[in-house]
């Protein structure tokens, strides 16, 4: 396949730069503790300095994979699929979500919301970043808002984001892993004073699973 043809298929969402796919336990947010099949799509230009999957940033490092193959793999493992990245909305998610939904799967996404929302989702976890804010559209469609707390200023940012989401959206504050010992007491105190928020932890890291 020549490069131009391959790029056209990627643009249509028929091929996606697949970094990895694996069956594990959802470690964060509302569905923590739930068995799920994770599909990690390569490509991200948001560039969080504390990102723990920086190898996902360069899409060219990850093989363009037929969307139908991703669907075929996912259906073998779980009724819940979590699409993550990287930033999956860099790409058109329409074909992938249609294929998964046609197989009767529940389809979740973890996204910064920095790009146009494509695809059909049962659950949207919006994790906004200061350096590249979400589109206006996704705020009203998010099921959960997850703000990563690296320092005290992130609590101010979290409140700015919370006023933009819909009334049913669940609000989470999650410590950045490398700063967890410092920021967990800060988050706990803040949530106790502001109980509209909940604490989210990366429980998969405590469990030592992917």
From 4-13, 79-88, 176-185, the region with the lowest mean pLDDT: 4-13
Domain borders along the chain are 3-206
Q: Which letter, b or e, does each residue of 104-132 get, where b requires 16 or more Cβ atoms within 10 Å of its Cβ?
A: ebbbbbbbbbbbebbbebebbbbbbbeeb
Contact 42/18 with Cβ under 8 angstroms? Answer: yes
Q: Does domain 3-206 have CATH number 3.30.70.2190?
A: no
**pLDDT value at position 48?**
86
Tokens read off for 185:
């007491």
Confidence of residue 52 (pLDDT cuts 50, 70, 90): confident
Neighbour-count burial of 103, counting CB atoms closer than 10 A to its CB (0-12 exposed, 13-18 middle, 19+ buried): middle
Residue 64 has pLDDT above 70, yes or no: yes
Predicted confidence (pLDDT) per residue in 139-156, tens digit: 999 999 999 999 999 999
Confidence of residue 1 (pLDDT cuts 50, 70, 90): low
Q: How far is it, in rounded angstroms, from Cα 207 to Cα 163?
A: 33
Confidence of residue 3 (pLDDT cuts 50, 70, 90): confident
Q: Kindly state the percentage of the chain with pLDDT values over 90.
A: 84
pTM of the model: 0.94
Confidence of residue 168 (pLDDT cuts 50, 70, 90): very high
Residue 88 has pLDDT above 70, yes or no: yes
As a whole number, the mean pLDDT across the chain is: 95
Confidence of residue 136 (pLDDT cuts 50, 70, 90): very high
Predicted confidence (pLDDT) per residue in 20-34, tens digit: 999 999 999 999 999
Residue 49 has pLDDT above 90, yes or no: no
């Amino acid at each position: 396949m020549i490069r131009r043809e391959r790029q056209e298929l990627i643009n249509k969402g028929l091929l996606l730069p697949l970094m990895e796919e694996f069956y594990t336990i959802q470690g964060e947010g509302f569905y923590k503790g739930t068995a799920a099949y994770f599909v990690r799509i390569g490509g991200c230009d948001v560039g969080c300095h504390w990102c723990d999957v920086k190898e996902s940033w360069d899409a060219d490092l990850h093989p363009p994979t037929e969307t139908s193959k991703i669907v075929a793999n996912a259906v073998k493992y779980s009724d819940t699929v979590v699409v993550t990245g990287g930033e999956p909305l860099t790409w058109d998610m329409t074909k992938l979500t249609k294929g998964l939904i046609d197989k009767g799967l529940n389809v979740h996404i973890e996204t910064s919301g920095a790009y146009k929302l494509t695809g059909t989702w049962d659950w949207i976890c919006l994790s906004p970043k200061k350096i590249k804010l979400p589109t206006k559209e996704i705020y009203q469609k998010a099921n959960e808002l997850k703000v990563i707390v690296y320092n005290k200023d992130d609590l101010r940012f979290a409140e700015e984001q919370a006023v933009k989401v819909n009334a049913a959206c669940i609000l989470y504050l999650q410590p950045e892993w490398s700063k967890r010992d410092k920021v967990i007491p800060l988050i706990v105190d803040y949530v106790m004073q502001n109980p509209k928020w909940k604490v989210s932890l990366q429980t998969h890291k405590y469990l030592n699973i992917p």
